[in-house]
Amino acid sequence: MHHANHFYGHADIMASYAGLAEAPRIWGYLQHGWNILDGFAHGTAFAPGMPKFVWSDSVRRRGHSLGLRNYSVIGSVWLYLLKVHPELAAPAKGAEGTIFYPFHGWEGQHVLGDHGRIVASINQHETGPVTVCLYWNEYEKPAIRNVYKDAGFRVITHGYRGLHWRRTDAKFLLRQLRELRRHRRVASNRLSSAVLYGASLGLQPGVYGDPMVLENEHPSFGGQARIKRLWPELDQPFVPLDIAREFTDTELGVDHLACPAEIRELFRWN
């Protein structure tokens, strides 16, 4: 089935949770990131009658409003990762500082913006050590990577998410979990999956700085203006943790997790 099911090692995580040694193809479409529309990338060509596995009921409702059907709400793969790795339930010894995730593009769309302005915003709001995590395509560009290195920040990447079943880093999300556990705060210039993941662990979240622009972003998503309009309380440098956790629990789908046997049945892994 769809190659995006394997992004960030998601299929492998679900297979581990379900008690399988390796990941078969998932019979359906698996949501791979926080999404403010129907749960999937614009233009995804859905095969008729195939199930759509999404994180939250809000995604299901938006999909239904667009005429889509065959939704199953199962919660985010991130929550299953936490089940698979209970040894990472607590912060690492000596956890400190902030991990910042600049908004990133992908193979088909680049991000347009000023990384120097992001550095200035980080210096304005952060007082402890800062780690900047770039997506691979920004990390591989010295002109971008060095903007953050020259500012004195530790600069990392979690790896390559994969594309068309090639170069998939099955440890991507686990590497992200371990990095988040090393920090006390998580921040980004846009509300994103990474901010939700950090808040779900109890990191104090923040959203600030130049939100940047995604090249040729499709208007159906409503852009950054829609996110700010829907969730203004989450668009601030220091989001109250109780507000962040309520939002995160809903969007990650903590009330919708399936047991291993249910996952095997839903994905046709029996």
Q: Which residue has the higher pLDDT, 250 or 218?
A: 250
Band (220; pLDDT cuts 50, 70, 90): low
pLDDT of residue 108: 54
Q: Is the pLDDT of residue 269 over 70?
A: yes
The Cα-based distances of 242 to 10, 28, 101, 199, 200 in angstroms read 28, 34, 21, 10, 11
pLDDT in the model for residue 42: 79
How high is the pLDDT of residue 39? Answer: 94
The pLDDT assigned to 169 comes to 83
According to the model, what pLDDT value does residue 211 have? 85
User: What pLDDT, on a 0 to 100 scale, did the predictor assign at position 137?
Assistant: 84
Predicted local confidence at residue 18, as pLDDT: 98
Q: Is the pLDDT of residue 104 over 80?
A: no
Ordered by where they begin, the domains of the chain are 3-86+253-266 (no CATH), 88-252 (3.40.50)
* Predicted pLDDT at 216: 55
Tens-digit pLDDT profile for residues 117-171: 999 999 999 999 999 999 888 899 999 999 999 999 999 999 987 666 666 788 9
Span 7-22, average pLDDT: 95
Q: What is the mean pLDDT of the chain?
A: 91
- Please report, rounded to a whole number, the percentage of residues in the chain having pLDDT higher than 90: 76
pLDDT band at 106 (very low <50, low <70, confident <90, very high): low
